Amino acid sequence: MWVVTAEQMQTLDRRTIQEAKVPGITLMERAGAGAMTQLTEALGFAKGKKAVILCGKGNNGGDGLVVARLLAKKGAKVKVVLMAPLRDLSPDAKVMYRRLSKIIKPSLFTVNPSEESLHSLTQDADLLVDALLGTGLSSFVRPPYSFAIEAINASQGFTVAIDIPSGLDSNTGAILGIAVQADLTVTFGCPKLGLYLSSAIDNVGNIRVIDIGIPKDFVSDLNTQIHLLSQEMIRSLIPLRPPSSHKGTFGHAGIVGGSQGKTGAPAMAALGALRIGTGLVTVAPPQSVSPILESKLLEVMTEPMPESSQHLLGMEAHPVLSAFAATKSALAFGPGMGISPETTEVLRQLLPQLEAPCVLDADALNGLAQDCQIFSSMKQPPILTPHPGEMARLLAASSTKQVNEDRIGVSREFAMQHQVILVLKGARTIIAEPRGQVAICPTGNPGMASAGMGDVLTGIITGLLAQGLSGWDAARAGVYLHGLAGDLAAATIGEPGLIAGDVLTAIPHALTHILSHS
């Protein structure tokens, strides 16, 4: 599912109307009907509910007028707020106003409301529909629209945003002064880029994308390089399991990491690889911590490595690690590894020699932060999985704040420059590849802001690599399934107490969910 800017969406609308000969009012009806379906699914029946629909003068307001008509037909107690005089409505919005005015009383319309009346209308509403500003907003919100947004946010009613919460920049996700805090955002045609970036993540609630009949050829013509991961896409990437399978069929993953006090990280990565379906998993830790890992892991093998005086991987480990790597389908370096000059030197010598695909995470990234040129010397593009702090270290001059302000730009540029597949973790994880393609992951939740989640992700991606997926496919599928496992776990036990072990347990359920739900 391709993600578009406001300008690209305007192009799609215009071509659909002019070239595909679909009238604008038809698109508006489809948008309103789609929004009605989604809010009914979220709220249940509409009959008897107090619904306030706040409409601007443009086509976004017209979409809201369609929703108001459909709510009224379902028996909702509808009140409509028009932020501009009738004469200022867009042509299609005027059509929708006339259709609505045939079924509700004139007294249920409020035109050019005062700040006081806005609060009075919205304070006891069960449902608020934000159809104020839409995707065309590019400057700070001014009165009376800012007053309307304040009134929406002050209400306890369930808030549905039409296309995008009013006050958000649809390209960057920035809040333009003030923005609606939505529980549900129903967007049309294609998902808008700003819905998944910056401050918008805290304002959009659940996002639903409605097909309003934009021809797929028109979308393809945009040549956009950003797409939203979907369940349908990920389903096609999950490895099949033929009846004749055995454990060798699904690869052998090697996890290189662990140090004193940090044995949990490689253990969780190893279990993540197993839970995603890998046939065999072996952890290669420094020899002094191998007994601890063996006591943690029943289904995972260990192969102790020579260690330095700091009890980390030292230069003596290089030939042993090289032999270890030669027998693995995929490898991960970094979970709990620790950092030392010797450990980093081992990685410098080993990585360019690798034949198997690999994931670099945590201390592997931190140790190599000053040697990023090594990534492009590897035989296969490695998958890097930094969180924003690690990404800032890889960029040397950037802060975490700067990384988060341009997550897509930072990810794409680094992936192209260093020939890597980059997984920039965080809310709406970004995946970028060397040719400039970018994917945004919609799964995951705030409960996953917890220790060990990244180790589980490293194991999942490594396990998918071991089963034969390409780096790009393994990264995308791994991130989506990791987030989905977190969502399924949170649905059962809630977000605040969610831990990495809960996500490990939910991985098989995520796979089942993807394979069994269309």
- For residue 294, the cross-strand partners are none
Single-letter code of the amino acid located at 339 = I
Long-range CB contacts (< 8 A, 24+ apart) of 486-494?
486/443, 486/444, 486/445, 486/447, 486/448, 486/453, 487/443, 487/444, 487/445, 488/513, 489/447, 490/445, 490/447, 490/448, 494/447
Q: What is the pLDDT of residues 283-335, one digit of tens each?
A: 999 999 999 999 999 999 999 999 999 999 999 999 999 999 999 999 999 99
* Adjacency order of strands within the sheet including 50-55: 109-111, 77-82, 50-55, 127-131, 158-162, 184-188, 206-210
Q: pLDDT-based confidence at 178, cuts 50/70/90? A: very high
Q: What is the mean pLDDT of residues 408-421?
A: 97
* Cα(398)–Cα(226) distance, integer angstroms: 23
- Which residues, in sequence order, are CB contacts of 173 under 8 Å at separation 6+? 193, 194, 195, 196, 197, 198, 199, 200, 201
Q: What is the mean pLDDT of residues 253-266?
A: 97
Which residue carries 């892991």 as its tokens? 297
Q: Where are the domains of the chain?
A: 6-224, 234-240+251-516
- For residue 33, the cross-strand partners are none
Instruction: Indicate whether 115 pLDDT > 90.
Output: yes
Q: What is the mean pLDDT of residues 98-121?
A: 96
CB atoms within 10 A of CB 324: 18
Instruction: Indicate whether 198 pLDDT > 90.
Output: no
* Cα(251)–Cα(463) distance, integer angstroms: 8
Q: What is the pLDDT of residue 324?
A: 98
Architecture of domain 6-224: 3-Layer(aba) Sandwich (3.40)
Beta strand 158-162 with 301-302 is unpaired
Q: Where on the phi/psi map is residue 494: left (φ > 0), alpha (ψ -120 to 50), or beta?
A: left
Q: How far is CA 312 from the centre of its chain?
A: 35
Q: What is the mean pLDDT of residues 182-205?
A: 95
Torsion of CA 39, 40, 43, 46, to 10 degrees: 120
Give the max Cα distance, the chain.
Answer: 84
Q: What is the mean pLDDT of residues 85-94?
A: 96
Q: pLDDT-based confidence at 518, cuts 50/70/90? A: low
Q: What is the pLDDT of residue 106?
A: 93
By CB atoms closer than 10 A (0-12, 13-18, 19+), residue 116 is exposed
Q: How far is CA 39 from the centre of its chain?
A: 22
Q: Which CATH superfamily is domain 234-240+251-516 in?
A: Ribokinase (3.40.1190.20)
Structure tokens of 264?
């949990």
Q: What is the pLDDT of residue 420?
A: 98
Beta strand 430-432 with 438-440 is antiparallel
Instruction: Indicate whether 397 pLDDT > 90.
Output: no
Instruction: Indicate whether 350 pLDDT > 70.
Output: yes
Q: What is the pLDDT of residues 208-239, one digit of tens each?
A: 999 999 999 999 999 899 999 999 999 999 99
Q: pLDDT-based confidence at 142, cuts 50/70/90? A: very high
Q: What is the pLDDT of residue 517?
A: 77
Q: pLDDT-based confidence at 359, cuts 50/70/90? A: very high
Q: What is the DSSP string of 93-148?
A: HHHHHHHHHTTS-GGGEEES--HHHHHHHHTT-SEEEEESSGGG--S---TTHHHH
Instruction: Indicate whether 141 pLDDT > 90.
Output: yes
Answer yes or no: same fold for 6-224 and 234-240+251-516. Answer: no
Rounded to two decimals, the pTM is 0.94
User: Which candidate, 357, 352, 304, places its Cα nearest to that of 329?
Assistant: 357
Percent of the chain residues topping a pLDDT of 70: 100
* Cα(294)–Cα(438) distance, integer angstroms: 39
Structure tokens of 152?
């929406």
Give the C-alpha distances (Å, rounded to integers) separating 187 from 3, 36, 170, 184, 228: 11, 12, 11, 10, 13
